[in-house]
């Protein structure tokens, strides 16, 4: 009777190698990068990390549950816009905007002959409500979309295309409703958070650490979900959906759940993006950023929570350095990278790590021979 | 009104009462006005030539296919109006023709997912792998000859072991009605023998519907045989009676 490690009841949701992996990432983000990078570069890393929240959601939603969403920018954007609306209202105090026809409302509303703060904007006068909205608005939107799609058993490519259409629709909507959303320019000129100036270098450093802290918390949440029975059901669903259904599970509700969770994670990233970069615009909502986010995840490894974080950092770092020297070649590079990942290393960098590096490092890094032979989900 | 009362009384003793069941796909009636009744603890084998509608009948019972007309009553509950997962929770388990298991998970995890607890999103998030779960998984694993493979990823099992694993996944649900679609298809002789032994052990205390082509196997386990042909019942009764039925002989020899 062999009841070895995995079946003999793991009481804690993190395995030793997960803890080491998270600790290494935490040390890298909290100690190594702040000590070695100048402020300017560190702010870039902070910006990249906001996309890592999206990648984290995609690992659960796409990697584990097999639901490819090409519209995560929608949720990133919704979270970012919620935060931007709060900051914009704070920046649009009566004394700041006294030259306007209607003082006390955001400048772009005034330009569009709006004379009163729209109802949709009212809750964003309050920071608490804003934080709730950052998490719940995207989740609610994901719930409606997910419920409509998954209950009707829409999946696979059809679902991906619909999410992509949503990304396009939301972009058009934001651009078109200039008076309410700031249009193509987005919501800009954000200054303070409860009176605290977010534009200074010191504030940006603090926001970087807040972002890292939130990311680590979200990583822990993702590990918890992954190691729960729900995580295994997601993998089972990806493999044999009918078998799960005929084992007494309402498959659609699990898909809705993971889609909503991915949406909320993306939205936290979006909100942190707005805070660190100081504006939000439709260019972070549409199809291209949504697909880029999928590529970060694929490069890092869609089955690996930590891999997706590193993938996001590396691809974004490459994007910044490449587009500084060869701006027109970057998109080709990105496309080529995606093709290479799909064809040559389908489990991304994490897959390469588990196949070639981890076995040499011993069991603490997840490198037992058995796992190396089965990199797909063992992770 | 009167007729309904009589029919209700008649159905009372049956675990499963299928009446007037019809399903048509673009006008083609795959199952045509089919009625049959399964008793408590009865083992019913459905045989018939290819395309007779055998698998469709199982699909209809477990809710995978929606009936065009007719009723399926399981313990006095109407299954045709229920969703698939509700039918499972009511006590109907179904094994598919091809082994349908989760290749990326271990044998233990495969069985655990079928354990009838934590079937909602919240339940699955807070599900604990407690002693009762482990004990039950161990027990079932021993029944299906896989006790020493619990940590093995299911994709590495042989074809026969995969079939057993799926049977084990049903077993752990403890269904009152178990439906098996060709449980010994594609098995070696020794695996087939072991499977017959396994089935004989697990069919106690529950009703079972089996689809099978292997006549030797059918003879071994069947209490009653239903022969389907072109979506209709051609003959029904004991194995001996069915085998002697000239209509059955004609259909089988005709093919």
pLDDT, one tens digit per residue, over A277-329 is: 999 999 999 999 999 999 999 999 999 999 999 999 999 999 998 888 888 88
pLDDT over 80 at A15, yes or no: yes
Nearest CB to B124: which of A7, A228, A378?
A228
At A17-41, the pLDDT tens digits run: 899 999 999 999 999 999 999 999 9
Q: What is the dihedral of CA A297, A300, A301, A307, to 10 degrees?
A: -110
At A159-184, the pLDDT tens digits run: 999 999 999 999 999 999 999 999 99
pLDDT at A365: 63
Between A376 and B237, whose confidence is greater? B237
pLDDT over 80 at A6, yes or no: no
The verdict on A327 touching B (C-beta cutoff 8 Å) is no
pLDDT over 60 at A104, yes or no: yes
Question: Which residues of chain A neighbour B62 with C-beta distances below 8 Å?
Answer: 246
Question: Which residues of chain A neighbour B99 with C-beta distances below 8 Å?
Answer: none
pLDDT over 90 at B57, yes or no: yes
Q: Which of A260-264, A373-377, B167-171 has the highest mean predicted lDDT (pLDDT)?
A: A260-264
At B185-216, the pLDDT tens digits run: 888 888 888 888 888 888 888 999 999 888 88
A94 DSSP assignment: T
Number of neighbouring beta carbons within 10 Å of residue A133 = 23
Nearest chain A alpha carbon to B98: A243
Hey, which bits of chain B come out as E strands? 14-25, 28-39, 43-47, 69-74, 77-78, 92-95, 177-181, 207-211, 224-229, 232-237
Could you tell me how many residues make up chain A? 379
At A318-364, the pLDDT tens digits run: 999 888 888 888 888 888 988 998 898 889 999 988 888 888 887 66
Rg (CA), chain B: 19
CB contact under 8 A, B85 and A4: no
| Structure-token match 């779960």, residue found | B133
Return mean pLDDT, chain B.
89
Mean pLDDT of the region B5-18? 68
Mean pLDDT of the region B57-62? 95
| Structure-token match 């069919």, residue found | B203
Of the pLDDT bands very low, low, confident and very high (cuts 50, 70, 90), residue B10 is low
pLDDT over 60 at A372, yes or no: no
The C-alpha atoms of residue A58 and residue A295 are separated, in whole angstroms, by 10
- With 0-12 / 13-18 / 19 or more C-beta atoms within 10 angstroms meaning exposed / middle / buried, residue B27 is exposed
Distance between A106 CA and the closest CA of chain B, angstroms: 42
Mean pLDDT of the region A228-245? 95
Residue A315 near residue A355 (C-beta atoms within 8 A): no
Among A9-13, A218-222, B29-33, B106-110, which stretch is predicted with the lowest mean pLDDT? A9-13
Q: Work out the percent of chain B whose per-residue pLDDT is above 70.
A: 94
pLDDT at B219: 85
Beta-bridged to residue B45, according to DSSP, are B210, B225
Mean pLDDT of the region B83-93? 95
Distance between B31 CA and the closest CA of chain A, angstroms: 22
Q: From the DSSP assignment, how many helices (H) and strands (E) are in chain B? A: 11, 10
Nearest chain B alpha carbon to A245: B85
Query: Euclidean distance between the first and final Cα of chain A, in Å?
Result: 25
Between B9 and A265, whose confidence is greater? A265
Of the pLDDT bands very low, low, confident and very high (cuts 50, 70, 90), residue B12 is low
pLDDT at B254: 59
CB contact under 8 A, B94 and A2: no
Residue partners of A89: CB distance under 8 A and separation at least 6: A106, A117, A121, A124, A125
pLDDT over 70 at B9, yes or no: no
pLDDT over 60 at A48, yes or no: yes
Distances (CA, A) of A28 to A39, A308, B177: 16, 15, 56
Q: What is the interface size between A and B, counted as CB pairs within 8 Å?
A: 112
Residue A287 near residue A168 (C-beta atoms within 8 A): yes
At B128-152, the pLDDT tens digits run: 999 999 999 999 999 999 999 999 9
CB contact under 8 A, A9 and B129: yes
Question: Which residues of chain A neighbour B111 with C-beta distances below 8 Å?
Answer: none
Nearest chain A alpha carbon to B83: A250
Residues 220-259 of A with CB under 8 A from B: 225, 228-230, 232-233, 235-236, 238-240, 242-251, 253-254, 257
Question: Which residues of chain B neighbour A64 with C-beta distances below 8 Å?
Answer: none
At B154-173, the pLDDT tens digits run: 999 999 999 999 999 999 99
Tokens linked to A172: 């058009």
CB contact under 8 A, B100 and A242: yes
pLDDT over 60 at A7, yes or no: no
Distances (CA, A) of A75 to A119, A157, A211, A232, A298: 21, 20, 17, 25, 19
Collapsed DSSP state (helix, strand, coil) of residue B74? strand
* Type and span of the H or E element at A21: helix A16-27
Question: Which residues of chain B neighbour A246 with C-beta distances below 8 Å?
Answer: 62, 64, 84-85, 88, 93-94, 96
Among A144-148, A336-340, B112-116, which stretch is predicted with the lowest mean pLDDT? A336-340
A199 DSSP assignment: T
Residue B248 near residue B227 (C-beta atoms within 8 A): yes
pLDDT at A303: 94
pLDDT over 90 at A144, yes or no: yes
pLDDT at A366: 58
pLDDT at A375: 39
Question: Which residues of chain A neighbour B109 with C-beta distances below 8 Å?
Answer: 232
The C-alpha atoms of residue B177 and residue B26 are separated, in whole angstroms, by 30
Q: Work out the percent of chain A whose per-residue pLDDT is above 90.
A: 78
The complex's ipTM works out to 0.89
pLDDT at A368: 46
- The backbone torsions φ and ψ at residue A76, rounded to the nearest 5 degrees and listed phi first, read -55, -45
Nearest chain B alpha carbon to A376: B104
Q: What is the dihedral of CA B105, B106, B108, B112, to 10 degrees?
A: 0
- Optimal mutation site among B101, B136, B151, B175, interface A, most CBs of chain A within 10 A: B151
pLDDT over 70 at A261, yes or no: yes
pLDDT at B214: 83
Among A75-79, A367-371, B106-110, B179-183, which stretch is predicted with the lowest mean pLDDT? A367-371
Tokens linked to B170: 């049903």
Question: Which residues of chain B neighbour A225 with C-beta distances below 8 Å?
Answer: 125
CB contact under 8 A, A7 and B64: no
- The backbone torsions φ and ψ at residue A153, rounded to the nearest 5 degrees and listed phi first, read 60, 35
Among A6-10, A243-247, B207-211, which stretch is predicted with the lowest mean pLDDT? A6-10
CB contact under 8 A, A250 and B85: yes
The verdict on A212 touching B (C-beta cutoff 8 Å) is no
Question: Which residues of chain A neighbour B125 with C-beta distances below 8 Å?
Answer: 225, 228-230
Number of neighbouring beta carbons within 10 Å of residue A344 = 8
Nearest CB to A254: which of B108, B121, B153?
B121
pLDDT at A309: 97
């Amino acid at each position: 009777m062999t009841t070895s490690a995995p079946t003999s009841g793991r009481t804690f949701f993190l395995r030793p190698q997960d803890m080491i992996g998270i600790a290494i990432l935490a040390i890298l983000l909290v100690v190594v990068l702040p000590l070695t990078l100048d402020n300017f570069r560190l702010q870039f890393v902070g910006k990249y990390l906001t996309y890592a929240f999206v990648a984290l959601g995609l690992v659960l939603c796409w990697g584990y549950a097999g639901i490819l969403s090409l519209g995560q920018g929608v949720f990133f954007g919704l979270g970012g816009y919620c935060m931007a609306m709060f900051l914009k209202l704070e920046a649009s105090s009566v004394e700041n905007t006294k030259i306007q026809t209607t003082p006390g409302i955001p400048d772009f509303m005034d330009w569009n002959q709006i004379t009163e703060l729209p109802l949709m904007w009212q809750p964003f006068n309050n920071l608490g409500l804003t934080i709730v909205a950052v998490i719940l608005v995207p989740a609610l939107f994901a719930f409606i979309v997910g419920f409509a799609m998954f209950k009707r058993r829409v999946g696979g490519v059809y679902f991906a295309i619909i999410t992509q259409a949503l990304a396009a629709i939301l972009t058009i909507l934001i651009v078109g409703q200039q008076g309410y959303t700031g249009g193509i320019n987005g919501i800009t000129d954000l200054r303070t958070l409860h009176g605290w100036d977010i534009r200074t270098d010191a504030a940006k450093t603090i926001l970087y650490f807040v972002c890292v802290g939130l990311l680590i918390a979200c990583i822990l949440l993702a590990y918890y979900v992954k190691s729960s029975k729900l995580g295994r059901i997601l993998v089972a669903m990806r493999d044999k959906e009918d078998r799960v259904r005929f084992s007494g599970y309402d498959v659609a509700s699990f898909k809705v759940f993971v889609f909503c969770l991915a949406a909320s994670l993306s939205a936290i990233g979006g909100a942190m993006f707005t805070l660190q970069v100081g504006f939000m615009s439709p260019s972070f909502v549409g199809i291209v950023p949504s697909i880029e986010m999928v590529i970060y995840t694929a490069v890092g490894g869609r089955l690996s929570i930590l891999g997706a974080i590193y993938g996001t950092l590396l691809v974004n770092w490459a994007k910044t350095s490449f587009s500084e020297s060869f701006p027109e070649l970057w998109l080709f590079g990105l496309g080529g990278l995606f093709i290479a990942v799909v064809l040559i290393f389908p489990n991304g960098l994490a897959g390469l790590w588990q196949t070639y590096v981890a076995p040499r490092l011993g069991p603490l890094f997840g490198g037992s021979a058995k796992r190396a032979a089965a990199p797909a989900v063992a992770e | 009104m009167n007729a309904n009362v009589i029919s209700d009384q008649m159905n009372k003793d049956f675990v499963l009462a299928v009446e007037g069941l019809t399903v048509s796909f673009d006008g083609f009636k795959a199952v045509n006005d089919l009625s049959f009744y399964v008793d408590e603890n009865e083992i019913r084998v459905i045989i018939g030539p290819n395309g007779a509608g055998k698998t469709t009948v199982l699909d209809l019972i477990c809710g995978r296919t929606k009936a065009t007309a007719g009723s399926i009553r399981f313990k006095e509950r109407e299954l045709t109006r229920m969703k698939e997962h509700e039918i499972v929770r009511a006590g109907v388990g179904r094994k598919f023709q091809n082994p349908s298991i989760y290749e990326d998970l271990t044998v233990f995890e495969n069985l655990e997912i079928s354990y009838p607890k934590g079937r909602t999103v919240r339940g699955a998030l807070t599900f604990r792998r407690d002693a009762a779960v482990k004990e039950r998984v161990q027990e079932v694993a021993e029944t299906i000859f896989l006790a020493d493979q619990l940590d093995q990823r299911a994709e590495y099992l042989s074809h026969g072991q995969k079939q057993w694993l799926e049977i084990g996944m049903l077993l752990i649900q403890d269904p009152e009605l178990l439906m098996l679609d060709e449980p010994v298809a594609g098995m070696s002789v020794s695996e087939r023998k072991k499977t017959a032994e396994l089935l004989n052990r697990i069919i106690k205390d529950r009703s079972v519907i089996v689809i099978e082509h292997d006549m030797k196997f059918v003879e071994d386990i069947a209490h009653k045989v239903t022969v389907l042909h072109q979506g209709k019942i051609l003959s029904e009764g004991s194995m001996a009676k069915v085998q002697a039925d000239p209509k059955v002989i004609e259909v089988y020899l005709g093919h």
